[in-house]
Structure 1
Amino acid sequence: MCEAQNKQLQSNHPVLHYTKLLKFCYFILVLLLFSCGESSSKQETKTTNTSTTETPETKSKTILCFGDSITAGYGLDDTNDAYPAVIQQKIDSLQLDYTVINSGVSGETSAGGKSRIDWVIKQTPTIFLLELGANDGLRGVPISETRANLQAIINVVKTKSPDTKIILAGMQLPPNMGTTYTSNFKQLFIDLAIENNIGFIPFILENVGGISELNQRDGIHPNITGHKIVAQNVWEVLKPMIQ
């Protein structure tokens, strides 16, 4: 009877209850710490695995056609018929890793090109095709001014994207602009190409300019067939650079 009473007293003793509660809380704490540690370890492992599987993005090389309405494909129903797109088709057929960017603006002059080159060259193209000057000539802009603007554009490309290869597209004017002016206009492109040691297309509208069936009604802008010939003129200079 005394032993039974003793057990009853022990079970009701507050210190003993506190000790059991403390042990139980300790057990729960250890269990939680273990679970959190395991979860943290899994999360850390997951993060590490993710970082090791990341691969840098590969970028296609680019050919930037920087020009006026000829480059922009003025008058065509579909700009995919303009010479930059035709060149892209040639490149794709050869499975070469190049993307052609059409940066042509209808009505663009050499001065207009000079004003936007700082923004455009941020694309750091592999090859830069400069096709400007025709609108200068048709407006009778002084040769010295056109030359200075084109040189300024070339300088920006060389300075801000030194690894970019440059191609200058030569242009010629109809004889009604005057013999002296048209002769000097043609020569300025030749001089710029030689002085800057860059690629050169003597006349981008070779076998197209002045031929009515290869131009639109205005007699100035190439039609679809004309653009294919223009693309071939460009391709003859471009092809050695990309192969």
Structure 2
Amino acid sequence: MVKTVLCYGDSLTWGYNAAGPSRHALEDRWPSVLQAALGDEVRVIAEGLNGRTTAFDDHSAPEDRNGTRVLPTLLGTHSPLDLIVIMLGSNDMKPWVHGNPLAAKHGMGRLVKIVRGHAYPLEAEAPEILLISPPSIRRTENVEFAQMFAGGDSASRKLADLYSALADDAGCGFFDAGSVAETTPLDGVHLDAANTRKIGEALAPLVRVMLAL
């Protein structure tokens, strides 16, 4: 039976390309790279939204960016699921969201509880969960992004340890995307094509283990 993986994230999952700005080609986005590596045994669904947070409101966009409000609908839409991969937290570092890595950890914890407690169609079981800490924000000469993520360079470096501890406590998988990829200096937040591909390539062996393939 084909396994189904839902990738839940923000612009790093959507494929925002700072060099355009534009959107990376489909084949360069990390969920697509993961799909190619896993082959026909797995169906990988990409659900990325620019600006999405873990669990906090940001009313500066036409979409609902609060990850906790959108997730239940997607769990029902794509059920049954075998694995959900969650990479969020970069947008939590915006000062007007909260800018606090501990708050991002609590937001991710809330998402875990939503996945575990959802009433899935046809009494399907809750999927396994893989938490990913995004590559750290870096300083940039892009004035708008420097102000948009002020303080995010130091704050985001704490996410990996916090998410790792959460994963241990909650019985989830964990991966530090910053161990294989780095953000572009063009805006300090997003990934170039090579780095988003690295995430998909690095995740493939871990996802295979979690899906028992």
Calculate the TM-score normalised by the size of structure 1.
0.64
Structure 1 residue 206 displacement after superposition: 2.5
Structure 1 residue 105 displacement after superposition: 0.5
Structure 1 residue 181 displacement after superposition: 3.8
Q: Distance in 2 between matches of 1:154 and 1:126?
A: 14
CA contact (8 A) 1:70 1:221 kept: yes
Gaps of 5+ in 2: 18-22, 56-65, 140-150
Aligned residue in 2 for 1:196: 170
Question: Match of 1:189, as an amino acid?
Answer: Y
Question: Match of 1:165, as an amino acid?
Answer: E
CA contact (8 A) 2:130 2:173 kept: yes
The answer on 1:227 being equivalent to 2:196 is yes
Going by fraction, where is helix more abundant, 1 or 2? 1
Structure 1 residue 114 displacement after superposition: 1.0
Higher relative contact order (CA 8 A, sep 6+): 2
Q: Distance in 2 between matches of 1:166 and 1:207?
A: 20
Give the 3 Å change call, closer, same or farther, for CA 191–106 of structure 1 in structure 2.
same
**Range with greater deviation from structure 2 (126-135 or 145-154):** 145-154
Question: Match of 1:196, as an amino acid?
Answer: A
Aligned residue in 1 for 2:46: 102
Structure 1 residue 216 displacement after superposition: 7.5
Aligned residue in 2 for 1:72: 14
1:236 counterpart (200, 205, 208)? 205
SS at match of 2:182: coil
Structure 1 residue 78 displacement after superposition: 2.1
**Percent of pairs with identical residues:** 21
The answer on 1:134 being equivalent to 2:90 is yes
Q: Distance in 2 between matches of 1:65 and 1:234?
A: 11
Q: How does 1:10-159 map to 2 (within 5 A)?
A: 60-75=2-17, 76-92=23-39, 95-96=40-41, 98-111=42-55, 112-122=66-76, 123-124=78-79, 125-139=81-95, 140-159=98-117
Q: Number of matched residues?
A: 177
Calculate the TM-score normalised by the size of structure 2.
0.73
CA contact (8 A) 1:171 1:189 kept: no
Going by fraction, where is strand more abundant, 1 or 2? 2
Structure 1 residue 147 displacement after superposition: 2.2
